[in-house]
Chain A
Amino acid sequence: MYITFDFQSDVPLYLQLRNQVVIAISKGVLKPGDHLPTVRALSDESGVNAMTISKAYQLMKQEGYISTERRGGAVVSAGDKEIKVSKDTVNRLDLCISELRLSGMGEEQIVDLCRRLYREEE
């Protein structure tokens, strides 16, 4: 699995890592029990500061996507584990729905679009 860090992006590096791992888990590229590299190894490999990688791991741990190991590695959490949806995610979804509604789409159309995107993910 490839992780790309874009240094020009407005999205902070730790969030780029977090987002790519979350997408990989949701698409099944990363499965429960899969190991992620240690903070230091990923930092060495990418050149990104170890503190940045650690921040992403901590965030994913808080959100329930991964559990961290003693030696700095991480494991993708089991599917049955409760994932906390952050307030930020709910707010972003709220904003998207508002934009779609203002563009003239009705409830059914929005739900259809969501369903289509969800199935594409799978």
Chain B
Amino acid sequence: MLMKIFLWASIIWLLPFLFVVQRNEAKFKKNISIGVTLPQEAREDPEVQALLKKYVKETGIICIILGLAVIPCWFPKSYNWLLFAWMLWLDALIVFTQLPFIRYNKKLRELKAERGWNKKTSDNVQTEKVTVNISNISTPRWLSPWVFAGALLITLVPMAISSDLWPLILIFALTQIMFYLVYRYAFRTKSESIDDNVEITQALTQIRRSYWGRIWVKIAYATAIFSLGTLLLKNHGKLYFWITIIYSIYTLIVVASPEFKIRKAQEELTRNSGASEYIDDDEHWVWGMFYYNPRDSHSFVNGRVGIGSTINVARPFGKIMCIFTIIIMVLMPAFPFLLDWSIESKVVFVQEENHVTVSCGRSDYRVDLEHVAEVSLIDEYPEELSRTWGTATDKILKGNFSAKDYPPMQVCLNPGKTPYILVLTDNRKAYLFGTDDPLRTQELYELLKPQSIP
């Protein structure tokens, strides 16, 4: 049940979040609504207003249906089928919430062509030409890499203190490097030009650039603190669970809050734009959301609204990313089964001289029999058993774990077959083993018992 609640809590927020984001697309920002650039006169047009209202309503209906579609996700009993249901729902959420956008983008474009609203635009609409105002261009000031290096150093501290955490800390460290690379290279620094108004262009550009830096610095240091928390709370499963939740919520707020602030600023600063000449590059945006411009040599481009960047689908990198995303989305529901299929789940053991080695795939857990202090057969996991690093599927649970009142624990067992063997050693180590056959588990228990030492 805890796993079901955890999955529900970690995914369900996406539904209201996407609804708010999609609803926000109907508001005019940078002369754009639902991915269509329109002149000032079009904003109050009854037909445009009616389409925008219908779009919001349709998005709301789809979100309600998706909210109801969550119910079946609570039924599966197996871990794999539970993940399958949620991943399938996630796919549906991503695809179906975009459908009204695509539909009404098309309708709005048709209305725009019908009313001749694309006549007053500047040269930028011509796909064979691009015009830039060089007086508008400001060179971005990037934050020093040392700002991110500080977060990386803090992240690495637990590795120096507790060697058993190294795989997890290594992942955090690699994530920190990724944060810097995304901050520095996945951001197109193009000015936020919407018309000839230099002040507004500069204001919009500055806001976007400064928030972009702040987001990544905040996430980098939150990750560094989370890494320290992993060290301090590694043996306190419940507390560690909560710090994980807090870290996730904080990260979400750090990303979502500037996004909406910038959208608000774009809405307010460009409220009076579009009366005379303005920039319209709708031609480059397929369905109003995918940037396709073979003339643009860059793979990353400014998102149409908000803070983010998007990918130029016309570039080879953009095409690769697009295919990769589709493959990930298609395979997402199958991941748990693929994981099961690819991971060896047979637990085997062998006795050699004065130690027993329990193995599963390429993972070996060696128990020195002379150090074994206590061995017991149990039918339930120790209290607050929590994975620090390892694998968890329906058929195998292995890796480094922590549990309340026990030293760091190495686990290698089939979760579906009881009993399990709990081994405590006199050098403060703990092991939890179990095979797929209770008789073999009993055999292993006999081997591990202190009296079996030759």
Contact = CB atoms under 8 A, between A and B. Distances in A.
B161 interface: no
8 contacts: A2-B133, A2-B134, A4-B131, A6-B129, A8-B129, A42-B132, A42-B137, A45-B137
A68 to B, nearest CB: 14
Interface string B122-151: 010000111111111111100000000000
Given A44-B189, A44-B190, A45-B190, A7 B295 contact: yes
Contacts of A44: 188-190, 298
Contact of B130 (A1, A46, A73): A46
Q: For the complex of A and B, list the 4 residue pairs with the smallest distance between their C-beta atoms, beginning with the closest.
A: A47-B296, A37-B137, A49-B297, A8-B128
B30 to A, nearest CB: 16
B301 to A, nearest CB: 8
A4 B132 CA distance: 6
Nearest to B312: A47
Given A43-B297, A44-B188, A44-B189, A6 B137 contact: no
Contact of B297 (A8, A41, A47): A47
Contact of A37 (B131, B134, B298): B134
Q: Kindly name the residue among A4, A46, A47, A48 whose own CB sees the greatest number of chain B CB atoms within 10 A.
A: A47
B293 interface: yes
B145 to A, nearest CB: 16
Contacts of B191: 45
Contact of A2 (B131, B293, B297, B298): B131
A37 B136 CA distance: 9
A50 B132 CA distance: 15
Interface of A: 1-8, 36-38, 40-50, 71, 73
Given A37-B139, A47-B295, A48-B297, A3 B134 contact: yes
Interface in B272-317: 293, 295-298
Nearest to B301: A47
Nearest to B137: A37
Chain B interface mostly helix, strand, loop or mixed? loop
Interface in B105-137: 123, 128-137
A73 to B, nearest CB: 7
Given A47-B296, A49-B297, 19 more contacts: A1-B133, A3-B131, A4-B123, A5-B129, A5-B131, A6-B128, A7-B128, A7-B129, A7-B130, A8-B128, A37-B139, A40-B139, A41-B140, A41-B189, A45-B132, A45-B134, A45-B136, A46-B132, A47-B293
A46 B132 CA distance: 6
A2 B189 CA distance: 18
Contacts of B190: 44-45
Q: Kindly name the residue among B132, B136, B188, B191 whose own CB sees the greatest number of chain A CB atoms within 10 A.
A: B132
A42 B188 CA distance: 12
A40 B188 CA distance: 11
Contacts of B133: 1-2
A42 B140 CA distance: 12
Q: Kindly name the residue among B123, B139, B295 whose own CB sees the greatest number of chain A CB atoms within 10 A.
A: B139
Contacts of A5: 129-131
A2 B129 contact: no
Interface string B236-275: 0000000000000000000000000000000000000000
Contacts of A48: 130, 297
A2 B132 contact: yes
Contacts of B135: 1
Contacts of B132: 2-3, 42, 45-46
Contacts of A45: 132, 134, 136-137, 190-191
Contacts of B140: 41
A4 B130 contact: yes
A7 B314 CA distance: 16
A5 B296 CA distance: 11
Nearest to B294: A7
A36 B188 CA distance: 19
Nearest to A46: B132
Nearest to B189: A44
A1 B188 contact: no
Interface in B70-129: 123, 128-129
